Amino acid sequence: MTLDERHRQQRVGQRTRHSRRPTVEHAAWVFYAVAAIGSTIGQIWVGVQTPPWPDTLHWWWRATFVAPFAIVIDLGGAVTAAFADWRQRLGESAYGWRILSAATVTVGVTTNIVGHADVAYLAVVFGGLGVFAYAIWLMHSAARRRDALRAAGKLADTAPAFGIGQWWREPAVTRRARSLAVAQRLPLHQSLDIARQQLRDEKRRAALASHVETLIRSRHDDPVRADIAATTLDLDAVAATLTAQADVPGWARVIGADLTPPTPNSDVDADAERNPAALPVGPMPPADVLRRVPQDQASYDRWRQLWAELKANPDLERAEFAQRHNISLRQVQRISRIGASGLLDSPLTLIDRVAQLGGNNGHARQHPASAS
């Protein structure tokens, strides 16, 4: 998902939220009004019945006297909560306003519950209205405060919903992905992939740093100097540098060469070991190339060694190989061509093999004559 698409989705989501918010806000305020009126009625009811009023004083006069106090209690809880929310938006803790708001609501709820204790239904209804309304008000104001802080850039964006299954399977990966998604505004799956890679790299780098520390300590006989060296160096930085310098393709070639299946040349090598004088059956190179095969044993062994190295590293550049061994590129090409024909598989030089084969053939021709 591109950045433009992400911003487009965010704008669509914001428009959707803004279009739904007025309806939700209106319903919330209607609920607060009904709950406040209900709580106030319950407190007025208690005020009309509980105090020792004169019998000659009608109930509506009692309600008139009690109503201001009941209204002040409910309104005070809302006003102090609004003040607390306002100061919290400015970055303050507003503990005083929050404590005063909770104390005011507690007085109103306690009045309703204790005053209607003889009728459980009325105690639950009037007391529950106050508790329920105040709890929803706290959550509502907290949500509005977070929206305002987020719009002002004072609050981090929300992270994607990873789901309970993802948290259960990979808690460490999900925790890292959540931080990455919030910090870099990454989508869900990309943040998970990056988190997995980071944790793998950190685990490998920590193991490598441990080995580096062991190596550094082994270079010093004095344990104090070993501690100084191991503490002075940034082992994580050394491990990261070693990882960057690692010849991964080279190791892959070496390991891959050991895992390749046997080739027909392996059978030729086995035949050469069993019968060093045997000549290869494959296509022979031209005469001008054959004349370049060394006749002395030392030079021939040198060619065999170079061919074995070429055969073990088929992806190695010929120019690099020639420069490494201080020989010409043409000579490397000759060694490759002659080695591919099988003429370098035997430990005997070509002339020695021809001579040995000639002697064996002479014995084979003379043996039947001697038998007759």
pLDDT band, very low/low/confident/very high, at 193 (cuts 50, 70, 90): very high
- State whether residue 286 is helix, strand or coil: coil
* Contact (Cβ atoms closer than 8 angstroms) between residue 244 and residue 261: no
Q: Is 158 contained in some domain? A: no
Does pLDDT of 16 surpass 50?
no
- pLDDT tens-digit profile of 103-161? 988 888 888 888 888 888 888 888 888 888 888 888 888 888 888 877 777 776 777 88
Q: Residue range 211-216: average pLDDT? A: 88
Distance CA 73, CA 101 (A): 10
Q: Is 199 contained in some domain? A: yes
Q: Is 252 contained in some domain? A: no
Distance CA 149, CA 156 (A): 9
Q: Is 179 contained in some domain? A: yes
Q: Are 52 and 99 found together in one domain?
A: yes
Distance CA 43, CA 107 (A): 10
Q: Are 15 and 59 found together in one domain?
A: yes
Does pLDDT of 363 surpass 60?
no
Task: Print the domain residue range for 106.
Answer: 3-151
Burial of 119 (0-12, 13-18, 19+ CB in 10 A): exposed
Q: Is 156 contained in some domain? A: no
pLDDT band, very low/low/confident/very high, at 194 (cuts 50, 70, 90): very high
Q: Are 8 and 111 found together in one domain?
A: yes
Does pLDDT of 365 surpass 80?
no
Query: In 10 A of CB 254, how many CB atoms?
Result: 12
Question: Alpha carbon of 22 to those of 18, 29, 346: distances in Å?
Answer: 7, 11, 92
Among 214, 245, 276, which residue terminates a domain? Answer: 245
What sign has the CA pseudo-torsion 212, 216, 219, 221? negative
Q: Are 91 and 185 found together in one domain?
A: no
CA-based radius of gyration for the chain: 45
Q: Is 255 contained in some domain? A: no
The mean of the pLDDT values for the chain is 77
The amino acid present at 86, given as its one-letter code, is: W
Q: Are 91 and 8 found together in one domain?
A: yes
Q: Are 220 and 305 found together in one domain?
A: no
Q: Are 65 and 179 found together in one domain?
A: no
Q: Is 312 contained in some domain? A: yes
pLDDT at 357: 58
Distance CA 179, CA 195 (A): 9
Q: Is 98 contained in some domain? A: yes
pLDDT at 176: 92
91: left (phi over 0), alpha (psi -120 to 50) or beta: left
Higher pLDDT, residue 204 or 50 = 204
Q: Are 10 and 139 found together in one domain?
A: yes
pLDDT at 285: 61
* Contact (Cβ atoms closer than 8 angstroms) between residue 349 and residue 297: yes
Count structural domains, the chain. 3
Indicate the range of 58-62, 96-100, 176-180, 357-361 predicted with least confidence.
Answer: 357-361
Q: Are 125 and 185 found together in one domain?
A: no
Q: Are 137 and 175 found together in one domain?
A: no
pLDDT at 171: 92
- Using a pLDDT cut of 70, give the percent of the chain over it: 79
Question: Alpha carbon of 212 to those of 198, 225, 298: distances in Å?
Answer: 20, 15, 42
Q: Are 10 and 75 found together in one domain?
A: yes
Its pTM stands at: 0.44
pLDDT at 172: 92
pLDDT at 240: 85
- pLDDT tens-digit profile of 326-358? 888 888 888 888 777 777 777 877 777 666 655
pLDDT at 371: 37
Q: Are 136 and 180 found together in one domain?
A: no
